[in-house]
Structure 1
């Protein structure tokens, strides 16, 4: 069992903190037993900024997001920690409180818009629903708000397309509709779970520009979940690097990417191709992430780490301050730049 991690030092005393996640722990039930998918994860996100959760597939990013919005049941559950928005802990909150806060305080944009949107209802019906439930608007008023929302996110001719079904829109337009539904009630926190995965490069840029604009207009905290380092470098203010369900490094993006202090972060950055020459060697991190059924007692990264030694086998490093903005979970973080 790992020790509780240190709160992200970038926001310890910031009164603009929109969401405060402390020691979040999620256990996942599988046919072969229960495994720990998220292990004492802590981070904070401020209003008006983008915090990226970055890591390889299977590192716990999406499970963290599902825990935040209460979508773990029945396969997983939060077993420890708190998720605080406006002094309300979502982990211990009742279902009624969570429903009241859904969309108004916390919203999510999924990566697969065609699956997330209901195929049997028009987009107008789906966009109007938050206004009717939370704002108690009439059907006519909610329809008007839905049209304005479509226009706000760049859907052309919304008056004529509001009665269309999700399959009648392109992938990029469907993603805009998902974002429109998420920001309809101006939430304090927006989770964007791989929001551009299935889109081409041009549409990706448009969607990220839309999210950035809406973040500024609504003064939201955006939590961007991705494995795309370039996207994080372009869009995020701060980053939390995740590995095997743990946050191993956190801090401002330019500082973390410019001078990584955890070997996993350095390995990710070194894996980015820097040469376009045919036949040039491509670097990668050797080995594979640990099986969640057999997470090592010590450092979760020990099997793939060039700095690993005896202490790493026996003792789990905790997320420790490097300076007032950064933290890393490595016993030998000062050696990482030369690893």
Structure 2
């Protein structure tokens, strides 16, 4: 196993996010930690509602008014984004950290041409003239595979297909060569062929620009194909993390194993598909002890009494009292 050295481009340490509800404040993201490294793709993986997208919104400072960061640090280089002021965040939005949203039609402004929107980062951050910024917009459109960019630069978002709009979003995100690119379900609602093209584009841009990419998804096949490292989330917490090849070959948390066992590949016709019984806990019912206890086949009294500490072994991390029964050997981090 290769042990990575050097500081990650993005270092998330103990990030917690609270949401204010009529029934009281709930902890939606609880102590999430991971590091995204330049030239590599790290996947945040888990079921819908596990806190993946909320984590991404917290990283880029786009939380809804009812949500707020309750603790932790998010270091982008030497800057902690949690404590940084608005002006610092604005300066780093683009050259430091950028995001690609899953719904391109709502992420793009329908009343401005795509050329105007693509040119905006160059005018704001680099002080380019309107003409120079427009030329950069055309160049970006060509780079992400938009046909005839010189003539389509004055078109509006609704005049592009879903796949082309997603390419435009990616172009906007990478315009200023960000150190870290967050991709939140970037292939949602696209057909399989277009999905493959979008992911190929992200791979090429990651290599060209040596970006760290954080891929947010619930698609295990996509993670296996595209990511180098994976962070498995459940009920707002990290339950397992490590290199994708190792985690998928030898999962050490019952939730990770349940996800992988649920993949129908190789299941004989007529055989009942494996699944994880039950549902994730509601936010106001997340237990203070093990968050997975109600669905776990290994659950015991200790699981209901205390939350498992994170244990580490090289690049692998797991939060389970009985991970050794799944082959894990590691010490408390």
TM-score, normalisation: structure 2: 0.96
- Residue matched to 1:246: 237
Q: Please give the alpha-carbon distance, in whole angstroms, between the structure 1 residues aligned to 2:97 and 2:80.
A: 13
- Residue matched to 1:325: 315
Instruction: Please give the secondary structure, in 1, of the residue aligned with 2:214.
Output: strand
Q: Deviations over 1:169-224 (max 9, x none)?
A: 00000000000000000000000000001100000000000000000111000000
- Residue matched to 2:331: none
- Residue matched to 1:3: none
Does residue 48 in structure 1 map to residue 48 in structure 2? no
Unmatched runs of 5 consecutive residues or more in structure 2: 329-333
Q: Please give the alpha-carbon distance, in whole angstroms, between the structure 1 residues aligned to 2:53 and 2:144.
A: 25
Q: How much does 1:12 deviate?
A: 9.1
Aligned pairs (5 A) from 1:149-160:
149-160=140-151
Q: Please give the alpha-carbon distance, in whole angstroms, between the structure 1 residues aligned to 2:203 and 2:31.
A: 29
Q: Please give the alpha-carbon distance, in whole angstroms, between the structure 2 residues aligned to 1:11 and 1:303.
A: 35
Q: Please give the alpha-carbon distance, in whole angstroms, between the structure 1 residues aligned to 2:262 and 2:132.
A: 52
CA distance change for structure 1 residues 12 and 75 in 2, over 3 Å: closer, same or farther?
A: farther
- Residue matched to 1:213: 204
Contact in 2 for aligned 1:103/1:184 (Cα 8 Å): yes
Q: Please give the alpha-carbon distance, in whole angstroms, between the structure 2 residues aligned to 1:23 and 1:313.
A: 23
Q: How much does 1:154 deviate?
A: 0.6
Contact in 2 for aligned 1:248/1:329 (Cα 8 Å): yes
Unmatched runs of 5 consecutive residues or more in structure 1: 1-9
Q: Please give the alpha-carbon distance, in whole angstroms, between the structure 2 residues aligned to 1:277 and 1:324.
A: 37
Contact in 2 for aligned 1:233/1:254 (Cα 8 Å): yes
Of residues 96, 100, 115, the one that matches 2:87 is 96
CA RMSD, Structure 1 to Structure 2 (Å): 1.5
Does residue 27 in structure 1 map to residue 27 in structure 2? no
Instruction: Please give the secondary structure, in 2, of the residue aligned with 1:120.
Output: coil
TM-score, normalisation: structure 1: 0.94
Does residue 57 in structure 1 map to residue 48 in structure 2? yes
Q: Please give the alpha-carbon distance, in whole angstroms, between the structure 2 residues aligned to 1:298 and 1:288.
A: 17
Runs of 4+ in 1 over 4 A off after TM superposition: 10-13
Q: How much does 1:82 deviate?
A: 0.5
Contact in 2 for aligned 1:11/1:17 (Cα 8 Å): no
Contact in 2 for aligned 1:250/1:328 (Cα 8 Å): yes
Instruction: Please give the secondary structure, in 2, of the residue aligned with 1:72.
Output: coil
Of residues 282, 285, 294, the one that matches 2:285 is 294
Q: Please give the alpha-carbon distance, in whole angstroms, between the structure 2 residues aligned to 1:52 and 1:153.
A: 22
Contact in 2 for aligned 1:11/1:46 (Cα 8 Å): no
Does residue 228 in structure 1 map to residue 208 in structure 2? no
- Stretch moving more, 111-120 or 14-23: 14-23
Q: Please give the alpha-carbon distance, in whole angstroms, between the structure 1 residues aligned to 2:24 and 2:5.
A: 40
Instruction: Please give the secondary structure, in 2, of the residue aligned with 1:22.
Output: strand
- Residue matched to 1:334: 324
Instruction: Please give the secondary structure, in 1, of the residue aligned with 2:9.
Output: strand
Aligned pairs (5 A) from 1:1-339:
14-275=5-266, 277-321=268-312, 323-336=313-326
Contact in 1 for aligned 2:267/2:273 (Cα 8 Å): no
Q: Please give the alpha-carbon distance, in whole angstroms, between the structure 2 residues aligned to 1:314 and 1:238.
A: 31
